[in-house]
A and B are shown apart, each in its own frame.
Chain A
Amino acid sequence: DSGVTQTPKHLITATGQRVTLRCSPRSGDLSVYWYQQSLDQGLQFLIQYYNGEERAKGNILERFSAQQFPDLHSELNLSSLELGDSALYFCASSVEFGRASTDTQYFGPGTRLTVL
């Protein structure tokens, strides 16, 4: 158990809908990262928040947005869903920037999103 929690574990929805994925980081971690894992694209970085502020952006679609709240939990909002958005969505957290053995990124168990 990494200490990072994600809800829900599974989500099934229809095209055009909007969903919200939730992540609670490990206690004491200030950074939260969102990743998308699909069969054809592997593990893709979407976005990072550090202490409530957006810090880095990856291949995140304009239909997707995220935020980190004062209690440091984060939500990833996916709207106007398409079939191709079906994937595993992982949240990770680290103390700061996740680039040291003492500050590595810990991943949650993921949310499986299925868009029908």
Chain B
Amino acid sequence: GESVGLHLPTLSVQEGDNSIINCAYSNSASDYFIWYKQESGKGPQFIIDIRSNMDKRQGQRVTVLLNKTVKHLSLQIAATQPGDSAVYFCAESLNSGYSTLTFGKGTMLLVSP
């Protein structure tokens, strides 16, 4: 598959562990945030999103936490599986007419069986 980056921060976990991937976003005015997963050779895939009027949102095995005070976003993956191995990107946006997504650099998650 295609490599998306050679110098990404990497998180290595064991299957079954909980994973936490962190992201510092840049614009204090951003009010919409998304986590994407990118597997080797594929395009980014939507995982979960959160608006700035919330500080936590849960999905299936995933939770996103937002701390606007320190401009920090995290993605928690419960009971991590080998299929979760991928690069994870956070993205931020303003909820205004012409705003688009700004992606972070990404974190590579490696899950060992």
Contact = CB atoms under 8 A, between A and B. Distances in A.
Interface of A: 2, 4, 33, 37, 39, 42-45, 48, 55-56, 58, 88, 90, 92, 97-101, 104-110, 112
DSSP class of B's interface residues: helix, strand, loop or mixed?
Answer: loop
Task: List 8 A-B pairs, minimum CB-CB distance, nearest first.
Answer: A107-B43, A43-B103, A104-B46, A107-B44, A56-B100, A42-B105, A56-B98, A45-B100
B42 interface: yes
A61 B104 CA distance: 21
Contacts of A107: 36, 43-45
14 contacts: A2-B45, A39-B3, A42-B5, A42-B105, A43-B44, A56-B100, A58-B100, A92-B44, A99-B99, A104-B34, A104-B49, A105-B46, A109-B42, A110-B43
Contacts of B42: 109-110
